Amino acid sequence: MISFSRRQFGKSVAAAAATAYAGSSLSGLALAQPQPAALHYPKGFLWGCATAAYQIEGGAQADGRGPSVWDTFSHTPGKTYHGETGDVADDSYHLYKEDVQLLKALGVSTYRMSLSWSRIFPEGRGAFNPKGLDYYDRVIDELLANHITPYVTFFHWDLPQALPGGWQNRDTSKAFADYAAFVSKRLGDRVQHFMTTNEFVCFTDLGYRYGQFAPGMKLPDAEANQVRHHGILAHGLGVQAIRANTPAATQVGLAENATVFVPVMETDAHIQAAQKAMRVGNAPFLTALMEGKYIDEYLAQEGANAPKVEPGDMQAIGSPLDFVGLNIYTPTYVRADDSPLGFAVEPNPSSYPHMYSPWLTLGPECIYWGVRNVCDLWKPKGIYITENGTSSDDVLTPAGRVEDVDRVMYLRNHLTQLHRAVDEDYPVKGYFLWSLMDNFEWADGYSKRFGIHYVDFKTLKRTPKLSAEWYRNVIAQNRVE
Ligand code: PNW
C-alpha cells in the first residue's frame, strides 16, 4: 500500500502519486492516502474494558476490608515505584458510578472487573463482611442498569494477607474455592460470566520465585513450583465450586497470559514450531488446565523439583471450561530447529521496538497467533481477549487533551490482527481493552499509564484520551479502520 504525506514529501511526490493513480478510478491528489478496507467484526461481537480491584478501587480500609498481600508489599519500602500504594488508586470504591458512565459513553457492552477477596472475607475465610459484598452489588446493579454485562474475576493477585503461608499453603486453594462458592452463589442471579484467576505466572512466579510482586519472595525451584501448583489447583477447585453454586447457564473460564509464541516466518515448519512451543512453554499453567496433566516435557525439565500432586488434583485442574480468556500484550518469536523439542526461542535483540513499559515489545501478530495456537491445540469452546492494551507516556495538555497516538497505533494493529483470527472462524467472542482508565500498575506504581481515560491522581479527575474517542468509534461502527 502506498501512503504519502504531503507535508513530509512536498508537492512533487504528491503529484507523482496522483500520476501513479491516473487512469484508475482512484485518480486525484486526495487519493494519495488510500484507505485500507474496513475490518468489520461479526454482529454480536462483545466490546469491553477491563480493570482489577486493587488497581482502581482504593478504599483500602473502607467498610471493614482486610489487608491483602499487595497492601503489605506496597507499604514495604523499596518494593514499588516511589513507594506508591493502592490506598486510594482511582477511588473507584466511591466513584464507581462515574466509571460506569465512562463505560456507557464508550458504548461498551461488557466490563471485566475483579473482586477484592479481603473486602468480602477480611481474613480470607471465616467471617463474612456484608459491607464488602454490598459494594459489588452496587457496582453490578449500576452496570446492569446501564446495559453493561459484568464479567467477574475472583482473583486478580490481591490475596488476603491473613491466609497463613499464602500460596505456599495448599489450604489457600481450598479457601479460594470456598470464597468462590459463596460469592458466585450470591452474584449468580445477575452475573453469568465468571473468571477464576488472572495470570498465574504473575501471582506465583513473580511473587514467590523472582520477588518482583507481592509477597516478594525468592523461593527455590521446588517450592516455587509447588506455589504454581496451588495456583492452578485453586482455579480447578474454583471452577467446580462456581458450577455447583450457579445456574447451569453460567459460563466459567479464567484470564491467562499464556506466553504467545509467534513463528519468525509464516512457513509450515515455523508455524508448527510455534504451536509446539505454545504447549511446552505454558506447561505449568494453561497446558496443565487444558490437558488435565503435567506434560512429560515439564516433568523432565523440573525433575526432582516437579510439584507434588495429590489424587484428584489434576482432575480438578482439568475441569472443562466454557471459555478461555487470554491476556495478550506481546510476542515471543520462535523458529523451528532440530533440537529434541523441535523449536528455539529467538532472543529479543536490543533493537526490538517496545512501548512505554520495557517488557511490552511490539508485535501485533501475537494476538492472532495466541488465539490460533490455543484453538488449534485445545479447541476451547470460546475465546475472549480478556486484556490487551499498552502503557504510554501520556501528557495532559493545558487544553485538557491527551493525544495518545502511540496507544491508538498499538490498538489498531492488534485489532487488525485479531480480525484475522475472527475471519478464519476461530471462536473469538469478545475483546476487553486494558484498561478503562489509568490505575495502580503494581510494582510500577502510577508511573505507567495503561488507561484510555487519563486520571489525575491528585484530583482523581478522569479525562478521555484520543484512544477513548478512537475505541468509541470502533465500537459504534463494529469495525476497525
Ligand atoms: C497484566 N509482564 O499484567 C495484568 O493482568 C494487569 O493487572 C496489568 O495492569 C496489565 O497486564 C499491564 O501490565 C502483566 O511483565 C504484568 O510481562 C506484567 C507482565 C505481563 C502482564
For 165, left (φ over 0), alpha (ψ -120 to 50), or beta?
left
Q: Could you tell which of 442, 450, 452, 455 is best to mutate to test the pocket of ligand 1, judged by most ligand atoms within 8 Å of the CB?
A: 442
Ligand 1 pocket member 257 (CB < 6 A): yes
Distance 398 CA to ligand 1 centre (A): 30
Which protein residue's CA is at the shortest distance from atom 17 of ligand 1?
359
Which pLDDT score, from 0 to 100, does residue 32 have?
Answer: 54
Which pLDDT score, from 0 to 100, does residue 347 have?
Answer: 81
Ligand 1 pocket member 450 (CB < 6 A): yes
- Three-state SS annotation for the chain: CCCCCHHHHHHHHHHHHHHHHCCCCCCCHHHHCCCCCCEECCCCCEEEEECCHHHHCCCCCHHHCCCEHHHHHHCCCCCCHHHCCCCCCCCHHHHHHHHHHHHHHHCCCEEEEECCHHHHCCCCCCCCCHHHHHHHHHHHHHHHHCCCEEEEEEECCCCECCCCCHHHCCHHHHHHHHHHHHHHHHHCCCCCEEEEEECHHHHCHHHHHCCCCCCCCCCCHHHHHHHHHHHHHHHHHHHHHHHHHCCCCCEEEEEECCCCEEECCCCHHHHHHHHHHHHHHCHHHHHHHHHCCCCHHHHHHHHHHCCCCCCCHHHHHCCCCCCEEEECCCCEEEEECCCCCCEEECCCCCCCCECCCCCCECCCCHHHHHHHHHHHHHCCCCEEEEECCCCECCCCCCCCCCCCHHHHHHHHHHHHHHHHHHHCCCCEEEEEEECCCCCCCHHHCCCCECCCEEECCCCCCEEECHHHHHHHHHHHHCEEC
Nearest CA among 112, 230, 136, 120 for reference residue 181:
120
Spatial contact of 163 and 173, defined as CB atoms under 8 Å apart: no
Residue 435, preceding bond cis, omega within 30 degrees?
A: yes
Spatial contact of 367 and 385, defined as CB atoms under 8 Å apart: yes
Give the β-pairing of 453-455 and 462-464. antiparallel
For 206, left (φ over 0), alpha (ψ -120 to 50), or beta?
alpha
What is the domain partition of the chain in residue ranges? Answer: 36-480
In angstroms, rounded to a whole number, what is the distance separating the alpha carbons of residues 77 and 385?
35
Which pLDDT score, from 0 to 100, does residue 5 have?
Answer: 30
Burial (Cβ within 10 Å: 0-12, 13-18, ≥19) of residue 383: buried
Which pLDDT score, from 0 to 100, does residue 179 have?
Answer: 99
Which residue has 508537492 as its cell numbers? 11
Distance 197 CA to ligand 1 centre (A): 13
CATH class (in words) of the domain with range 36-480: alpha beta
In angstroms, rounded to a whole number, what is the distance separating the alpha carbons of residues 445 and 443?
5
In angstroms, rounded to a whole number, what is the distance separating the alpha carbons of residues 428 and 9?
41
In angstroms, rounded to a whole number, what is the distance separating the alpha carbons of residues 185 and 140?
14
Distance 183 CA to ligand 1 centre (A): 25
pTM of the model as a whole: 0.92
Distance 331 CA to ligand 1 centre (A): 14
Distance 271 CA to ligand 1 centre (A): 26
Number of residues that this document lists for the chain? 481
Ligand 1 pocket member 402 (CB < 6 A): no
Which protein residue's CA is at the shortest distance from atom 16 of ligand 1?
202
**N-term to C-term CA, the chain:** 15
pLDDT tens digits along 174-202? 999 999 999 999 999 999 999 999 999 99
Nearest CA among 408, 434, 415, 426 for reference residue 479:
415
Distance 39 CA to ligand 1 centre (A): 28
Which protein residue's CA is at the shortest distance from atom 8 of ligand 1?
441
Ligand 1 pocket member 68 (CB < 6 A): no
In angstroms, rounded to a whole number, what is the distance separating the alpha carbons of residues 415 and 98?
27
Distance 6 CA to ligand 1 centre (A): 39
Which protein residue's CA is at the shortest distance from atom 15 of ligand 1?
359
Distance 198 CA to ligand 1 centre (A): 10
Which pLDDT score, from 0 to 100, does residue 352 have?
Answer: 86
Ligand 1 pocket member 52 (CB < 6 A): yes
Q: Could you tell which of 434, 441, 444 is best to mutate to test the pocket of ligand 1, judged by most ligand atoms within 8 Å of the CB?
A: 434
Which pLDDT score, from 0 to 100, does residue 266 have?
Answer: 98
Spatial contact of 200 and 231, defined as CB atoms under 8 Å apart: yes
Task: Point out the ligand 1 atom lying closest to the alpha carbon of residue 198.
Answer: 5
Q: Partners of 480 in the beta sheet?
A: 39
Q: Could you tell which of 359, 414, 432, 448 is best to mutate to test the pocket of ligand 1, judged by most ligand atoms within 8 Å of the CB?
A: 359
Residue 35's pLDDT band (boundaries 50, 70, 90)?
Answer: low
Spatial contact of 421 and 371, defined as CB atoms under 8 Å apart: yes
In angstroms, rounded to a whole number, what is the distance separating the alpha carbons of residues 284 and 323?
19
Which pLDDT score, from 0 to 100, does residue 481 have?
Answer: 83
Ligand 1 pocket member 441 (CB < 6 A): yes
Ligand 1 pocket member 114 (CB < 6 A): no
pLDDT tens digits along 429-463? 999 999 999 999 999 999 999 999 999 999 999 99
Task: Point out the ligand 1 atom lying closest to the alpha carbon of residue 442.
Answer: 9
pLDDT tens digits along 206-263? 999 999 999 999 999 999 999 999 999 999 999 999 999 999 999 999 999 999 999 9
Ligand 1 pocket member 359 (CB < 6 A): yes
Indicate whether 18 pLDDT > 80: no
In angstroms, rounded to a whole number, what is the distance separating the alpha carbons of residues 222 and 304?
8
Ligand 1 pocket member 198 (CB < 6 A): yes
Angle separating helix axes 405-423 and 366-378, nearest 10 degrees: 30
In angstroms, rounded to a whole number, what is the distance separating the alpha carbons of residues 62 and 96?
14
Which protein residue's CA is at the shortest distance from atom 13 of ligand 1?
441
Percent of the chain with pLDDT over 90: 90
Give the β-pairing of 39-40 and 479-480. antiparallel
Task: Give the type of residue at 312.
Answer: G
User: Which residues are the active-site residues?
Assistant: 199, 387
In angstroms, rounded to a whole number, what is the distance separating the alpha carbons of residues 155 and 195?
8
Ligand 1 pocket member 434 (CB < 6 A): yes
For 460, left (φ over 0), alpha (ψ -120 to 50), or beta?
left
Residue 351's pLDDT band (boundaries 50, 70, 90)?
Answer: confident
Q: Could you tell which of 116, 154, 199 is best to mutate to test the pocket of ligand 1, judged by most ligand atoms within 8 Å of the CB?
A: 199
Task: Point out the ligand 1 atom lying closest to the alpha carbon of residue 450.
Answer: 12
Distance 441 CA to ligand 1 centre (A): 8
Which pLDDT score, from 0 to 100, does residue 19 have?
Answer: 38
| CA atoms in the 13 A half-sphere facing the CB of 158 | 32
